[in-house]
Amino acid sequence: MTERPLLLLDVDGPLNPFRSPFARLRGYTSHRMKPDVWLSYRDPESRSARRGARVRLHPSHGPRLLALPFELTWATAWTHQANTMIAPHIGLPGDLPVVEWPELFARDPDGLSWKTRPLVDWAAGRPFAWVDDMITPADRTWVAAHHPTPALLLRIHPRHGLRDRDFSTLTRWAAGISAAGR
């Protein structure tokens, strides 16, 4: 196989364990940010809009993601702001590709995540791993039936964020793809 598989990466949940009360104890640093998608759900005059969203990020995630045998792509509602707001805090380059969503949070007629169909289109037949906190069994079933090459849909709990075992799972899966392509 000549091309590395894609790693389609969400921000909230995997990188920002927004439901974790103890993220700081696990090495995460807290930042205040005002992403457009978050601001669109707030009164611009509200205290929360003025303060910004609390985003918890782990500085080791960038180097660990770059060490994986994947081509990284943002697959997040943060869209291009992931490159300007998230990447600098975790050590990722500020020019990663970004999935262009036809519509944010669109309701799917089959109950899939609003990202599932666009991500399969984005992958264009390439193997991919999708890391997100909103993946369901229905998404896995649909991708298996509609994507012609291997795909790993790795659900990350928003209380935990990416953990060592998730990096291990990604590494093993990519190694299996490489071995199968030889």
Q: Residue holding tokens 């960038």?
A: 62
Which pair of tokens denotes residue 60?
Answer: 């080791």
Arithmetic mean of pLDDT, 36-65: 89
Per-residue pLDDT band for 2 (boundaries 50, 70, 90) equals low
pLDDT tops 60 at residue 155: yes
pLDDT tops 80 at residue 95: yes
Long-range interactions of 145-149: CB distance < 8 A, separation 24+: 146/120, 147/120, 147/123, 149/123, 149/125
**Portion of the chain with pLDDT greater than 90, in percent:** 81
Amino acid at 116: T
pTM here is 0.93
Where b means 16+ CB within 10 Å and e means fewer, 25-41 reads eeebeeeebebebbeee
Query: Which residue, 67, 69, 72, is CA-closest to 11?
Result: 72
Per-residue pLDDT band for 9 (boundaries 50, 70, 90) equals very high
Mean pLDDT of the chain: 94
Other CB atoms within a 10 A radius of the CB of residue 72 amount to 19
pLDDT of residue 12: 97
Q: Is 154 exposed, middle or buried (0-12, 13-18, 19+ CB in 10 A)?
A: middle
pLDDT of residue 16: 97
Query: For the chain, where are the E strands, in sequence order?
Result: 6-9, 29-33, 53-57, 71-74, 128-132, 151-155
Distance in angstroms (rounded) separating the CA atoms of residues 99 and 73: 7
Distance in angstroms (rounded) separating the CA atoms of residues 131 and 121: 16
pLDDT tops 60 at residue 132: yes
pLDDT tops 70 at residue 181: no
Query: Which residue, 28, 33, 36, 83, is CA-closest to 53?
Result: 33
Which pair of tokens denotes residue 124?
Answer: 């264009």
Residue boundaries of the structural domains of the chain:
6-17+58-180
Q: What is the CATH number of domain 6-17+58-180?
A: 3.40.50
Question: Which among 34-38, 148-152, 175-179 has the top mean pLDDT?
Answer: 148-152
